[in-house]
């Protein structure tokens, strides 16, 4: 029996590489594609020896050709942290627009089902709490974060257009803050920043007064939600994330307790258009997919800390 074939763009990234692992485990032939602007081959090098894994070094903003049939396409190529998309705003817009268009065209040509990675950022700085899928958002299109938020909103619109106009099978996942092994240490997001700073004995950088909230989902839970959504028959957006909300200040205290570091804080000005609240309403995911997060923050942080320790500390420091 021939294996089902899946193309995962952004396959060398944090989420993409975990998806590659999951689809290999489920018995698929996996084709990962990445231009390595923010992804790293280190995340997928353990898969290179496998017969049913391929890697294409390619930018999906340019024409995408994949020989042979495809059953599924998961579009996870995009810079996803503010540090990245503020540095490369045009590539961010192109991968969400031109990249999405290229892949939707490929899906149509191959008769494949396509799932796009959207984001809680489509809700902007929300005026509704928690955020549910029928909320249209509060986004500043010309602010510094507009390149990411609007790329993702356009991506959703383009995907829906292909679904309505061409009858393409499409799925849209709106991903909330996710963490776990393979996050880049310097990606600028709060969890890698706090863990790196705590392990190095540096003050933790808090933007604003730390009263803003985030909701963190462990990567294995997220991958499970994405897998279930792909195989479901629901084409409208679905929030996948962990509704357990925490203020950034409380989170800093939690990280210091976990690492045994002394809590020292470096307060910095709040970036423009930074969301004050983030909490998914996951009613839809529960009802449609039978999904909810299983890994609590204490367990997820413990697993993530082990990864960061190996990356940051020397072997002697790790054993100390």
The pairing of beta strand 245-247 with beta strand 213-215: antiparallel
Residue 227 falls in the annotated catalytic set = no
Task: Give the integer Cα–Cα distance in Å for 81 and 75.
Answer: 17
Query: What is Dmax (Cα atoms) for the chain?
Result: 61
Please tell me what DSSP assigns to residue 155.
Answer: H
The CA distances from residue 145 to 58, 162, 205, 241, 277, in Å, are 25, 26, 20, 21, 16
Per-residue tokens: 129: 């709490």
Report d(CA 74, CA 11) in Å as an integer: 9
Report the alpha-carbon distance of residue 123 to residue 146 in Å, rounded.
Answer: 12
Provide the CB-side half-sphere exposure for 154 (13 A, CA).
17
Rounded Cα gap, residues 109 and 111, in angstroms = 6
Buried b (16+ CB within 10 A) or exposed e, 191-212: bbbbbbbbbeeeebebbeebeb
Catalytic residue, candidates 123, 148, 162, 179: 148
Determine the Cα–Cα distance for residues 139 and 118; give it in Å rounded to an integer. 15
Residues tagged active-site: 148
């Amino acid at each position: 029996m021939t294996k089902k074939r899946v193309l995962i763009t952004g396959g060398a990234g944090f989420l993409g590489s975990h998806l590659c692992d999951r689809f290999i485990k489920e018995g698929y032939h996996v084709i990962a594609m990445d231009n390595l602007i923010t992804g790293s081959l280190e995340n997928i090098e353990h898969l290179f020896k496998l017969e049913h894994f391929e890697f294409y070094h390619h930018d999906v903003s340019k024409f995408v050709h994949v020989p042979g049939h495809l059953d599924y396409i998961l579009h996870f190529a995009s810079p996803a942290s503010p540090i990245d998309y503020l540095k490369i705003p045009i590539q961010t817009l192109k991968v969400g627009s031109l990249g999405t268009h290229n892949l939707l065209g490929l899906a149509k040509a191959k008769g494949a089902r396509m799932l796009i990675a959207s984001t809680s950022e489509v809700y902007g700085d929300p005026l509704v709490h928690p955020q549910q899928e029928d909320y249209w958002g509060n986004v500043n299109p010309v602010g510094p974060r507009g390149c990411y938020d609007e790329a993702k909103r356009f991506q959703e619109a383009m995907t829906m257009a292909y679904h309505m106009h061409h009858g393409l099978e499409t799925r849209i996942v709106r991903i909330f803050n996710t963490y776990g092994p393979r996050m880049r240490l310097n990606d600028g997001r709060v969890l890698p920043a706090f863990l790196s700073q705590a392990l190095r004995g540096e003050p933790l950088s808090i933007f604003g007064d730390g009263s803003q909230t985030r909701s963190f989902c462990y990567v294995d839970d997220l991958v499970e939600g994405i897998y279930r959504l792909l195989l479901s028959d629901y084409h409208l957006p679905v929030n996948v994330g962990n509704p357990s909300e925490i203020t950034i200040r409380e989170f800093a205290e939690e990280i210091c307790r976990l690492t045994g570091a002394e809590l020292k804080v470096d307060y910095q000005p709040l970036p423009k258009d930074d969301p004050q609240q983030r909490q998914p309403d996951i009613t839809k995911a529960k009802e449609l997919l039978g999904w909810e997060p299983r890994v609590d923050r204490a367990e997820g942080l413990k697993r993530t800390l082990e990864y960061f320790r190996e990356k940051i500390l020397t072997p002697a420091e790790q054993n100390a």
